[in-house]
Amino acid sequence: MKTTTSADIISLAKYILSPECKSIALLTGAGVSVASGIPDFRSPGGMYDTLRPDLITCHNEYERNLMKADPTYVVSWDIFQNNAFPYLEVRRPFILGTRNHQWKATIAHRFAELLHNQTNKLTRVYTQNIDGLDRQCDGIPSEMIVNVHGSIDQVSCEGCGQETMNYTDFCDAVSKNIKDIYNLQQQPSSSSSSTDNDAPKESSPVLCPNCNRPLMKPSTVLFGRSLPDEFWTRTQQDLPHLDLLIVAGTSLVVQPANSVVYNVPKNCRRVVINLHQVGEELGFEYYCTDDGSKQQQQQQQQQRDIFLQGTCDEIFLQLIQELDWLENIDIDLLPESSAELVLEAKEKV
């Protein structure tokens, strides 16, 4: 396992600012949003790990057994096309929390904004996240953000494909019509800010105003459905010209989003920021730091793939410091844990 050194950060910062680096893209996953408080669905304790199919509204035992065998079925087209309740019930707190601006963009998100504002080298942010936090960064033009798996803060009908309900009206309908399964998991004497005691006891359909079918949902990609055309259009446009790809907070196991990393040019540098080393099966080859010798340093400079180990906020903050952009971060826009890291860094300056 290669561990992150200050030399790695310095080398990356120099390359970002160099004239050789003209086009930069980011591929991000759940790890960039962890500091905001949004749960990582795939990790232990996440939505899939704690799913309780017995509490979800099912039309038959077949649906319940599918979710017991594989929790991802709860957000699959196989179930949703006949029964929208499982999706809406598990997503209910996420949908309503997004409406209430419960979560804030992290240091990792703000790095992309700074990169664009300070260098004008940002080509695209490809985010696998559906949380919409990238769009809180007003300094990033909307066309530079590709929501690979859709976004929770936009709604459409899976039946007719129309965006016939605005987000506020949809959230009101979810609040009124969809039961809170997380409240059902609480002990009678317990209290949780994530539950809603005013939620209905049973779910009722949220109908599309256009086709009158119960298929309204956030514009996220269900398992079994195709990715947005924008993903394919943008990757064909962007990837052949990239000089640097930064991969952050993703396991790189989800296809076809992970195709980004092996469709960039062979001379494109690739940096992975994550708690654990990933991507070897996709062709990443990391160097190992040993004695810091001149020969090793030369090897490092020639190396295409770099692994920076740590949380996304920690590593991106180090990079922001090395780029001398620390004073450009507005602490008031950050979640508490991110703001604390920035304050601590500023006090040391």
Say which residue, 296 or 331, is predicted with more confidence: 331
Burial of 252 (0-12, 13-18, 19+ CB in 10 A): buried
Q: Please tell me the predicted confidence (pLDDT) of residue 147.
A: 97
Q: Could you give the 3-state DSSP secondary structure of residue 324?
A: coil
Token code pair at residue 338: 């991110």
**Taking the model in full, what pTM does it have?**
0.88
Q: Please tell me the predicted confidence (pLDDT) of residue 45.
A: 64
Token code pair at residue 154: 């936009």
Cα gap 343→346, rounded to integer Å: 5
Q: What is the DSSP string of 78-101?
A: HHHTT--HHHHHHHHHHHHHHHTT
Q: Please tell me the predicted confidence (pLDDT) of residue 124.
A: 98
Q: How far, in Å, are 99, 130, 334 from residue 177 at the CA level? A: 16, 22, 32
Say which residue, 83 or 48, is predicted with more confidence: 83
Q: Could you give the 3-state DSSP secondary structure of residue 125?
A: strand
Cα gap 268→8, rounded to integer Å: 17
Q: Please tell me the predicted confidence (pLDDT) of residue 39.
A: 66
Look-up: residue for tokens 């080393």? 277
Q: With both helix axes pointing from N to C terminus, report the angle between 6-17 and 107-119 in degrees, rounded to the nearest 10.
A: 40
Three-class HEC string of 193-242: CCCCCCCCCCCCCCCCCCCCCCCEEEEECCECCCCCHHHHHHHHHHHHHC
Say which residue, 328 or 46, is predicted with more confidence: 328
Q: Give 337's contacts (C-beta < 8 A, 6+ positions apart).
A: 35, 313
Which phi and psi (to 5°) does residue 218 adopt? -55, 150
Q: Are 271 and 238 in contact (CB under 8 A)?
A: no
Token code pair at residue 209: 């105003």
Q: pLDDT tens for residues 138-157?
A: 999 999 999 999 999 999 99
Query: Which residues are registered as beta bridge partners of 308?
Result: 273
Q: Which domains does the chain have, with CATH numbers?
A: 6-36+104-149+227-348 (3.40.50.1220), 47-102+152-220 (no CATH)
Q: Please, what sign has the CA dihedral across residues 300, 302, 307, 311?
A: positive
Q: For 318, what's the count of Cα atoms within 13 Å in the CB-facing half-sphere?
A: 17
Per-residue pLDDT band for 302 (boundaries 50, 70, 90) equals: low
Q: Please tell me the predicted confidence (pLDDT) of residue 164.
A: 79
149 is catalytic: yes
Q: pLDDT tens for residues 176-222?
A: 999 999 886 654 333 334 567 889 999 999 999 999 999 999 999 99
Token code pair at residue 178: 């969809």
Per-residue pLDDT band for 250 (boundaries 50, 70, 90) equals: very high
Q: pLDDT tens for residues 5-40?
A: 689 999 999 999 999 999 999 999 999 999 999 866
Q: Please tell me the predicted confidence (pLDDT) of residue 290.
A: 47
Ranges assigned E (strand) in 29-182: 122-127, 145-147, 150-157
Which phi and psi (to 5°) does residue 294 adopt? -60, -40
Catalytic residue among 116, 149, 241, 276: 149
